[in-house]
Amino acid sequence: MKVRWEDIPPEGRAISLDQLSPLSLATPDGEMVEGPRSASAIEGTLLLQRTRKGIEVKGTIRTAVVLPCARCLKEFTLPIASECEESFLLPKYAPAEEDTELANDDMDVSFLSEEGIDLEDIVAEQIWLSIPIKPLCDEQCKGLCSVCGGELNRGECGCDRQYTDHRFAALKTLRLNVP
């Protein structure tokens, strides 16, 4: 859903997130093919406020995504609750070309395009920001055995991981010593 500055009444406009089109959580460059996907509807409301210089977006986003655990690779559901607070400036307040570098440093604002702000984009970005770099199904997740690949959460497989670790270390030194 695109909203332009002119579409917002002076008293503001509340948009319930169930009105949005389904989000695509895949990155635009096709990265993260095994990436997160939505596990439940997106709930919450965004309040759009017109300011003298642009649009302010505030609200809470609640949903859940399914994604693989960084340790055991098993898919799990991660609940998301994100507080959104973003400002968009009208294009006429965009810094002149020569100031861009300077402005980029201390500014955490985006600029409005002709078509207005894209609410799906804003929500998808907020969800991305809420996903940890190394998502874990559980803080205590034991991951996979480095020898047999067994799932250690299900129980100890009996492999001597200490031993192989040493051997790998030895291999590494050997390789380094090759002239």
Give least dist CB 74 to Zn ion, A.
6
Residue 71 binds Zn ion, judged by CB under 5 A: yes
Nearer to Zn ion, 66 or 89 (CB): 66
Rounded Cα distance between 91 and 77, Å, is 39
Nearer to Zn ion, 25 or 141 (CB): 141
Nearer to Zn ion, 20 or 137 (CB): 137
- Name the pairing type of β-strands 110-111 and 75-89: parallel
Rounded Cα distance between 5 and 112, Å, is 8
Residue 68 binds Zn ion, judged by CB under 5 A: no
Strand ranges for 69-113 from DSSP E? 75-89, 110-111
Q: Which stretch binds Zn ion (CB under 5 A): 39-47, 66-74, 80-88, 111-119?
A: 66-74
Please list every residue from 151 through 170 that binds Zn ion, using CB under 5 A: 157, 159
Residue 141 binds Zn ion, judged by CB under 5 A: yes
How many residues sit in the footprint of Zn ion (CB under 5 A)? 11
**Tokens coding 150:** 């067994």
Residue 148 binds Zn ion, judged by CB under 5 A: yes
Residue 78 binds Zn ion, judged by CB under 5 A: no
Residue 94 binds Zn ion, judged by CB under 5 A: no
Nearer to Zn ion, 115 or 160 (CB): 160
Amino acid found at 149: G
- By residue count, the chain amounts to 179
Helices (H), 2-159: 100-106, 119-130
Instruction: State the maximum Cα–Cα separation within the chain, in Å, rounded to a whole number.
Output: 74
Choose which of 68, 95, 135, 150 interacts with Zn ion (CB under 5 A).
150
CA 81 from centre of chain: 12
Rounded Cα distance between 114 and 176, Å, is 58
Binding site for Zn ion (CB under 5 A): 69, 71-72, 137, 141, 145, 147-148, 150, 157, 159
